[in-house]
Structure 1
């Protein structure tokens, strides 16, 4: 931090200085006019004393009006001129009053001290030198012209020495005070800088933070917490009761009742999003606060999925070759056997079963490899209102199935890898259309997209009117290799769930009206940080 040559002064001190000037001028003039002090004050040149006092009062009042303390605060030249004028007038009054013996020299000491306080460097010493030379010169002139005693000259010399001592002492003292103030200001500015830096870090960090006092009032909430909790960022929540914005108060009360060995809570919002909440104690001296660390459970699940997929990739790479070679040999031999003329019709049926299951095992291997070989997620912001009609058109061109699409009129922005979303919807629509055909005879499915209530996030629902899913199977439908269809591999819904999770979306089964089956994809906020 660079220091200017003439730093601004304290406005209050400058105001006091200007008022004192006026009061001293009025006092000196009043003493001369209304009492017997005229025998001392202005004893040598009374008219000069009166006119100098009146001039001093007028100039002081004028500068107080024209140059208020705020103006003098940043004007070094005006301050130097004012002090020079003060000392000059005091020297004139001292001369008109007969020299040092009048006692006005003490006022010059006051003004030299004021000059040392407000002015840095050799200029303050220059005021003392100027006053000392004029006082001693006036004493020498009076002694030569009027044959005064030498003690007047001695007193003038002592006064000059006192002026020098006063200027040096006050300048050293003022410099020490100024240095201390500068150090305090530097430390204060650095502390403020650290506070702003910490505030900026807390505001922009990915983990949501909410600080709550003992009364349940929010003292701090960062932008990530607002985003994760689906709260409007335009509103201030400082000093708001925690229970007014969400059901977090129950989690905090439960944790405060038994803070030991309490795992992080998984909190489901009204939009279906899941966040992981970890309370902690923040001690501030004798006081303590409760800090809620909020993380997107989908992001944590996404990281776990990456590790899982990496392990699965290494596993499938090692077994794919060992399984595919004998499987290919079995399939090839079965095809040759089927073409033989010596095979009976019953044996041909057995060969068909062998080929059917070879194809099923091969499909399982392909699905598993599609997970392990998946490329890095390439997300982009997509408007579902524009993207879904294109998907439906492409899907219906390549599949003998019909999709009834309904999209809300709102802008439905999501951040997603469109190749993953296309794969998920294709799989869900294939399953839905197949089961719908079994129940109604029509190979069709309903696709609905809209925005969540009280949130800026979107969702997609895939609905079919098939036989539905038994309640006993709902907990297992997303497990790998779990299927209720004799021809299924049990990897379709599992892959869809995996693809949604690595895109920070949530796929789940939703109970629908009239017994229909509904799979819903809840997307995270499109402005999320990957």
Structure 2
């Protein structure tokens, strides 16, 4: 019961073939009338027959041939001009024979022949119709001349002359109508093709709409639906009634029909199904039909989330600008203090740490500003083992580990295309999370950074995997499914933005970040980065 279009087509041969059949049927009627008059007893005085056998033979032959032409007009692939031409030629020959074989019906036969020529010319071409009109005029004049010479006819010359002129005029006028009919038929075909294309386009658009559409009648029987509606309602069979498909939606529609109001609440499909926002409308046709529009509430929440994140990005950019000023002052003061004479070596090491971390924070600020401005990452070829060694050393210096362990391991020389500032920021987020959540109760955290060539069917040539692995209790599947959602956190003090920003930074570098479950416990966050030759491929913008 999907959305389908309903189109009608002309029968085989179009309008002209229907006209040919009607004309042949009319010819049979004429033949029946002529045969009836021909076989009528002479004592009734209907005709003044000159040659009775000839008239009866002509009437009988006309009837048989007319029936044959009627049968031929219904055959598929009939040649319309040829059949129409032979039919008109038969009409002219029989008319001339009847005019010669009787007296009293000359005017009636002439009028019938005029009608046949006028209608038949709508089927045949211009030259053939004019030739047959001339043939009819010649037949009338010939019969008039023979009758006059035989002293059997006292009609004036003007009568056959008028018939001849009418034959030619009727044929010419019919050709004008024929051209107009052909133009109208072509226009109708063109409009019909456009309507069919529009119907097909409408069907495709409605079927691909994210909004579900249902059409039900006054008895709440389902008449039409699109794919989105069937998917949102979780239908698996061919339901005939809305009450069988979704009883709450059926009750809401009945309430709307009775009161004109819809309850301002969503409908849930099953326990784990989506929440639907229904809307109803009545059609303006005579049949009682109602439209049910079903929107997934998740689309609205997703749009609200996008607006929230856009606002957060602008806010983050403003905060980053405000942080940069005091950060520059701290760095400048540290540089001046470093120039002081007699500085103890321990204090000088602390100043180096301050300067290094100020520079790192400045890089983080640049990354946040670049992400807010939707700028591309400044990717470069990075030696991953060396970067990991540097990161572990700096992290141990800035974050006293105590009993916790942080190690790195690389499987040989590995290079990747990535912005090192972004990668260091992502690693900091992942290691902080591993130390906070990836430890067993009462035991120190053990975190391993591991770089290795990417494997799997989806891995591109030269891609590299960088894993951050802990040996904690692992992550439940329900939580793992929402790890990268913004503002989702299981901590009372968390913001739920760390993993989200980390994934955005990875995607800005043409990479990816995903969670990989570790058999036997623990968690692994895998960063996949493009190889060193990725710069030869078109890059994606540094935005999600």
Instruction: Please classify the TM superposition score into its range, dividing by the shorter chain length.
Output: 0.5 to 0.7
Structure 2 CA distance for partners of 1:91 and 1:489, relative to 1, 3 Å: closer
Instruction: Indicate the residue corresponding to 1:410 in structure 2.
Output: none
Partner secondary structure for residue 94 of structure 1: helix
Alpha-carbon distance in structure 2 between the residues aligned to 1:108 and 1:245 = 70
Alpha-carbon distance in structure 2 between the residues aligned to 1:182 and 1:167 = 22
Structure 2 CA distance for partners of 1:63 and 1:356, relative to 1, 3 Å: same
Q: Report if aligned partners of 1:364, 1:491 keep a CA contact under 8 Å in 2.
A: no
Cα displacement (A) at 1:111: 1.5
Instruction: Indicate the residue corresponding to 1:413 in structure 2.
Output: none
- Indicate yes or no: 2:16 matched with 1:14: no
Indicate which of 185, 190, 194 corresponds to 2:198: 194
Partner secondary structure for residue 224 of structure 2: strand
Alpha-carbon distance in structure 2 between the residues aligned to 1:354 and 1:490 = 33
Instruction: Indicate the residue corresponding to 1:87 in structure 2.
Output: 92
Deviation track 1:164-217 (CA, whole Å, cap 9, x = no partner) reads 56556766777777766666555544444433344444556xx61322346484
Instruction: Indicate the residue corresponding to 2:81 in structure 1.
Output: 76
Alpha-carbon distance in structure 2 between the residues aligned to 1:255 and 1:319 = 54
Q: Which runs of 5+ in 2 are unaligned?
A: 1-12, 378-383, 393-405, 410-416, 449-467, 528-543
Instruction: Indicate the residue corresponding to 1:35 in structure 2.
Output: 41
Q: Report if aligned partners of 2:211, 2:294 keep a CA contact under 8 Å in 1.
A: yes
Deviation track 1:485-525 (CA, whole Å, cap 9, x = no partner) reads 9xx9996335247569999xxx999xxxx99999999xxxx
Partner secondary structure for residue 140 of structure 1: helix
Instruction: Indicate the residue corresponding to 1:110 in structure 2.
Output: 115
Deviation track 1:25-68 (CA, whole Å, cap 9, x = no partner) reads 35533543463389766933344334434443443344444553
Cα displacement (A) at 1:130: 3.1
Cα displacement (A) at 1:313: 4.0
Instruction: Indicate the residue corresponding to 2:325 in structure 1.
Output: 322
Structure 2 CA distance for partners of 1:482 and 1:468, relative to 1, 3 Å: closer
Instruction: Indicate the residue corresponding to 1:411 in structure 2.
Output: none
Cα displacement (A) at 1:270: 8.4
- Indicate yes or no: 2:431 matched with 1:430: yes
- Indicate yes or no: 2:446 matched with 1:443: yes
Q: Report if aligned partners of 1:402, 1:443 keep a CA contact under 8 Å in 2.
A: no
Structure 2 CA distance for partners of 1:84 and 1:328, relative to 1, 3 Å: same
Q: Report if aligned partners of 1:109, 1:166 keep a CA contact under 8 Å in 2.
A: yes
Cα displacement (A) at 1:329: 3.0
**Superposition pairs of residues 14-413 of structure 1, within 5 angstroms:** 14-33=20-39, 35-36=41-42, 43-66=49-72, 68-72=74-78, 75-98=80-103, 100-101=105-106, 103-119=108-124, 121=126, 124=129, 126-146=131-151, 148-151=153-156, 153-160=157-164, 163=167, 186-203=190-207, 208-213=210-215, 215=220, 217=222, 219-221=224-226, 225=228, 241=242, 244=245, 282=281, 284-285=283-284, 289-293=291-295, 295=299, 298=302, 301-302=305-306, 305=309, 308-309=312-313, 312-313=316-317, 316=320, 318-319=321-322, 321-332=324-335, 340-341=343-344, 365-374=362-371, 400=406
Instruction: Indicate the residue corresponding to 1:408 in structure 2.
Output: none
Alpha-carbon distance in structure 1 between the residues aligned to 2:425 and 2:502 = 5
Structure 2 CA distance for partners of 1:135 and 1:327, relative to 1, 3 Å: same
Cα displacement (A) at 1:149: 1.7
Q: Report if aligned partners of 1:211, 1:291 keep a CA contact under 8 Å in 2.
A: yes
Aligned-residue RMSD, C-alpha: 6.5
Instruction: Indicate the residue corresponding to 2:472 in structure 1.
Output: 465
Cα displacement (A) at 1:9: 3.1
Cα displacement (A) at 1:143: 1.0
Q: Which runs of 5+ in 1 are unaligned?
A: 1-6, 379-390, 404-416, 446-460, 522-529
Q: Report if aligned partners of 1:31, 1:37 keep a CA contact under 8 Å in 2.
A: no
Structure 2 CA distance for partners of 1:336 and 1:63, relative to 1, 3 Å: same
Q: Report if aligned partners of 2:55, 2:97 keep a CA contact under 8 Å in 1.
A: yes
Alpha-carbon distance in structure 2 between the residues aligned to 1:245 and 1:463 = 46
Q: Report if aligned partners of 2:243, 2:250 keep a CA contact under 8 Å in 1.
A: yes
Structure 2 CA distance for partners of 1:21 and 1:419, relative to 1, 3 Å: farther
Alpha-carbon distance in structure 1 between the residues aligned to 2:363 and 2:268 = 36
TM superposition score normalised by structure 2: 0.58
Q: Report if aligned partners of 1:211, 1:218 keep a CA contact under 8 Å in 2.
A: no
Structure 2 CA distance for partners of 1:270 and 1:149, relative to 1, 3 Å: same
Alpha-carbon distance in structure 2 between the residues aligned to 1:161 and 1:172 = 17
Cα displacement (A) at 1:238: 9.7
